[in-house]
Structure 1
Amino acid sequence: MGLSELNEAQQIKVKSWINHGLDATEKTLGPLIQKAVPIYLKPQYFAFEAVPWAEVTRGELDGVELQFSRYSSLKQLKNDWTLYHELAHLYHPLLDYKDFWLTEGLATLLQNQIMKDSGIITYDNMMMRLKAGLERGQSNTYRLSHLQDARLASVSSNMWQLNAQQRVYWSGVAFFIEAQYQLKLQQAQYQTIAELIKAYQSCCKASEQQSGRQFLMELDKLSKTALFSNLYLKYKNRTDFPKLKQKHLNAL
């Protein structure tokens, strides 16, 4: 939707970009069980980056709205992380605001995995991006340490007002990196977050809004562990930024 605003060459470019994004995401996370993915296109005349804004639209069919520069090249569009991030969100249910750190962390980790698996970035580049993001999260957490209620769940509920996106997103990334380490340590049936989310989406994804605890209980059930619920209790009320060790990063 929105293709009619573009000329023929731009339409071909945008279709190629969207199809590439869907294919790359499915390569890592498997096909979505919903019968179609609505894509709402909002081409921009003036933009400082290829995809300045995007969001998931929840409904009978979950979809993605994309604001993008109509003048960006196909390569610039493919190299932008936004589409992969939003498509990754379609593999989990909508969670409560206080648990947005989980969904944003999950989508951020998966977007990097998708881009690596499809050859857009290398493994080394993925690790560099993740480490840089974790550093931004730590810095943002320090900036917010003066808050009367600096618990992650509280900050997540007020993310936009507090300008706390870096803490919220990257605390969630740290959570899932630590979870993947635990999956491998416990020799669980699914050894990676991507494998587990692929299985979850194909069998168990809730259609209604859930709490983070409900979502993670499903992941525990699938992985035959209790690690997600246990980590959740450790993370949701923390006021510091998670201190990952090299062994955690090595599990990626």
Structure 2
Amino acid sequence: MALRPAHVIIKALDPAAVGRFWAEALGWHAYHPGVTTYVGPAGGLVWPHPVVVGIDLVPVPEAKTTEKNRVHLDLATRDAAHQAELIARLMTLGATPADVGQSDVPWTVLADPEGNEFCVREAREIHQDTGPIAAVVVDCLDPRAMARFWGEAMDWTSHEVTDEQAVLRSAKGVGPYFTFLRTTDAKKVPDRVHLDLLPFHGDEKEAEVARLRDLGANDLDVGQGDVPWTCLTDPEGHEFCVLALS
């Protein structure tokens, strides 16, 4: 039993506009299957995608606070020229520089049009086969504990686990990495960005939810009412949802 990431949720005041930004940023396409805007590879909406982790922009009435998001995306680049070109193009699309205390680093921190931080990484060999999203990055207090929980939740392979950082990736070696970075700041506000997970065919959602609770997940009530998905938090309080197979 295991779960797979269905997509990354980004809450937005204007999902269509933010979706256009991310589609242009990633070289993908913005789809409008309902009230949300889904960003995934061009050529038709494939969900769940067998390789990439798409982005689903969900409408909310509240703007992002000044608090830095605890979950963000890292974008991959091929070389220094591509990194510079991508940063310049993102700025023309509406990205703005963001200061999260990064100091002198080889990557550039930007924010999308609604203030959600992301990084344009320097070229790295391990990111050459990830697609445009190199990693989904989570700030946490204990990377080792997060690696244990999420590794068992998704049955992903650990590539590095230290006190400062834990790096996981699909056992199939495809798609983005899932990185946990140590921070000393405890979580204070609801996540603007979170993961939705999906069972594999043949697995029951409720059985997967029960397994996650045994691993340390907690139930979450955000006023969702009677919906076909289950809202949970991981052991450090990061929100996520387990979807039902349609």
TM-score norm. by structure 2 comes to 0.27
Question: Highest CA radius of gyration, 1 or 2?
Answer: 1
Higher helix share: 1
Whichever structure has more strand as a proportion of its residues is: 2
Q: Output the TM-score relative to the length of structure 1.
A: 0.26
